[in-house]
A = this chain, B = another copy of it.
């Protein structure tokens, strides 16, 4: 059985499941605000759908999954023998192999299949680059410090935690039950939980305060630092452990800073995303692609975020693997030649209008329809949404627990045109695992402006085009006497105005008969109308020059892996202690477990032959020749997600046949080594079903102890 919902929430208190608790108590007219706000979070997650429908895995126990993942060393806290560091995890052998297989599948699905230009750019990034991209100024959270103890809190999380505890205390005082016992809990977990509960004081609040707290919680993501400082003061929010006063929130940039080179003067950061490295190489990539548009670059690599207080295992970490695509496209033509191949794929959408109307009712339709109706902005974006769906379901995501949620207008970056997140449903709620955004021309434009490097595409026009453009003529000889040493700077300033700026200046000239300009290194300057003339001229253009728009599918690999763990985990109905990870053969860490019936010498030649055959077909396998029973050996590998087992018994010596066992059904078939290995190869790498793959092998009744 599963432990009660409330317990999970208590034990994993961070923003993306707080929603669930409060949804139960909040008045309905707050729903809209809540819905809107919860979409704005760093990790997007609306548990609402989960509440309204029954969960798809009623028997799922996170504790049990975590115990398997730890015991089988899929991953573990890094530096554990040194006490560990929050937000840093190491992948052990099965986790590492799974990750490598997912990356391999990603590379084949996107880079090779779509002819993308993969690059590997550095993680160390100088200050200037991230200043230009906006990360230095905007990539931050608010934190506040307890001056006495030195403890640091993420301001929004702290406010949430304290107000929620007070609301819970109020509930207790009003006589509502908030806790249930869970018989499955381990003792130390129980103790921790008890301690937590003890901290909640059963104090009744007046109704107006309850309401005020609820509004604050619903709006929490929209608050500025000053807003939060005000809340902390007004509502007397202190260090929950000591009651000590807190400093007002200050902004904390989430990038890891370091110094490059020995002088300490070249400030750098560890990149927060792989995207910037791709933008900076735009010209080289365009050249590599023989100037052909559209094209995509791609990059797989680690990125870093110095989270203030990371929790939730692999879902919020300080160092993580990303796979990002930057598809550069003509802003005037976002059609995609491959769209026709995916248009009939049916997907689950949560469009912005639905969310803005306070609902999470999903829309099931084909991507073709979604683009046609305008719900998804353009074909290229739609194409990638479909390709993301195909990739995720190929590597083990349950399509029923995958939805595409559109960003609402107020949660998108100002430059984004449209943005959809692939969200995966887990016990932590709906988790954003892939973002798919149309970033417009923002990044290339800011880097070009900063570096004076042209990051554009120039295309010969099929035929020359006559256009009217504004041009600025200056009375050069009057500039010297008027501006003296500043004359060249004023001239330069005038001559480097864009079309759009010239339009404004022309109007200014018309009305005021002079231009007032703030010129770098010169200051505010008045330029009289007799020195400058702005007029329309006709020009013949042979080339069209434009800054491409960027469509960016961005994958958080760790979050995807964790979701796959949840989606593929179950226990055998006949024995709830026997856990299985039903990872697809394609990504499973090991494909085959070889199990000799005994350590008898006579089995060795067959074992050797099976190993050689598997090696020659490059199928990863492991041998378990321990003395444990066959059933135990398979049970161990069910937890590792190994899809196939080959048993070598005494009959194998006589006729060279072996038994092939399938993990999920535990069904067995028998055949020659070559036929068995061929079946494994087809099912694993060629997308053939188990039934189809083994149709030439004989069913086999097990005499094993399964």
A residues contacting B by CB (< 8 A) are: 72-73, 76, 78-82, 85-86, 88-93, 95-97, 99-100, 107-108, 112-113, 115, 117-126, 128-129, 143, 150, 152, 252, 256-263, 265-266, 268, 270, 277, 280-281, 283-285, 287-288, 290, 302, 304, 306, 308-309, 318-319, 447, 451, 453, 455, 615, 618, 620, 622, 626
Contact = CB atoms under 8 A, between A and B. Distances in A.
A143 B306 contact: no
A99 B301 CA distance: 13
A232 to B, nearest CB: 17
B260 A81 contact: no
A622 B295 CA distance: 14
A143 B262 contact: yes
5 tightest A-B contacts by CB?
A: A91-B120, A93-B117, A90-B121, A81-B453, A81-B451
Contact of A288 (B93, B112, B128, B257): B93
A130 to B, nearest CB: 11
Contacts of A263: 150, 152
A85 B260 contact: yes
Contacts of A455: 81
11 contacts: A79-B126, A85-B124, A85-B268, A86-B261, A88-B260, A96-B118, A97-B118, A123-B302, A257-B259, A261-B306, A262-B308
A42 to B, nearest CB: 15
Given A100-B107, A261-B306, A263-B150, A120 B90 contact: yes
A444 to B, nearest CB: 11
A115 B622 contact: yes
A547 to B, nearest CB: 14
B122 A90 contact: yes
A85 B259 CA distance: 12
Given A92-B285, A280-B82, A152 B120 contact: no
Given A78-B277, A119-B90, A252 B262 contact: yes
Contact of A73 (B107, B287, B302, B447): B287
Contacts of A257: 258-259
Which secondary structure dominates chain A's binding surface? mixed
Contacts of A99: 120
A124 B319 contact: yes
A126 B262 contact: no
How many identical subunits does the complex contain? Answer: 2
Given A73-B288, A99-B120, A118-B93, A262 B152 contact: yes
A119 B97 CA distance: 8
Given A90-B122, A256-B260, 7 more contacts: A85-B124, A85-B126, A85-B268, A89-B122, A93-B117, A93-B118, A100-B107
A145 to B, nearest CB: 8
Given A120-B99, A258-B256, A306-B261, A284 B82 contact: no
Contacts of A256: 124, 258-260
Contact of A121 (B78, B97, B108, B252): B78
A237 B172 CA distance: 79
B284 A76 contact: yes
B88 A122 contact: yes
Nearest to A299: B96
A90 B279 CA distance: 12
A164 B568 CA distance: 66
Contacts of A283: 81
Contacts of A107: 100
Given A120-B95, A120-B96, A124-B88, A81 B280 contact: yes
Contacts of A95: 120
A122 B89 CA distance: 7
A447 B79 CA distance: 11
Given A256-B258, A304-B124, A281 B92 contact: yes
A82 B124 contact: no
Contacts of A262: 143, 152, 252, 306, 308-309
Contacts of A281: 76, 90, 92
A128 B82 contact: yes
A255 to B, nearest CB: 10
A319 B93 contact: no
A268 B252 CA distance: 18
B79 A129 contact: yes
A522 to B, nearest CB: 26
Contacts of A97: 118
Listed residue (A260, A280, A308) with the most chain B CB atoms within 10 angstroms of its CB: A260
A95 B121 CA distance: 11
Contact of A124 (B121, B284, B318, B618): B318
Given A118-B97, A302-B123, A626-B290, A258 B270 contact: yes
A118 B88 CA distance: 18
Listed residue (A82, A143, A263, A455) with the most chain B CB atoms within 10 angstroms of its CB: A82
Listed residue (A128, A261, A306, A453) with the most chain B CB atoms within 10 angstroms of its CB: A261
A486 B302 CA distance: 50
A108 B97 CA distance: 12
B119 A82 contact: no
A618 B123 contact: no
A121 B319 CA distance: 10
Nearest to A685: B618
A604 B615 CA distance: 38
Contacts of A91: 119-121
A112 B620 contact: yes
Given A86-B261, A122-B319, A262-B143, A280 B93 contact: no
A293 to B, nearest CB: 15
A560 to B, nearest CB: 15
Contacts of A618: 108, 112
Nearest to A75: B120
A249 B129 CA distance: 32
A386 B265 CA distance: 45
A281 B91 CA distance: 10
Contact of A118 (B82, B100, B277): B100
A290 B636 CA distance: 12
Contacts of A124: 85, 88, 256, 304, 318-319
Contact of A123 (B76, B85, B261, B319): B319
B120 A85 contact: no
Nearest to A452: B81
A52 to B, nearest CB: 37
A280 B108 contact: no
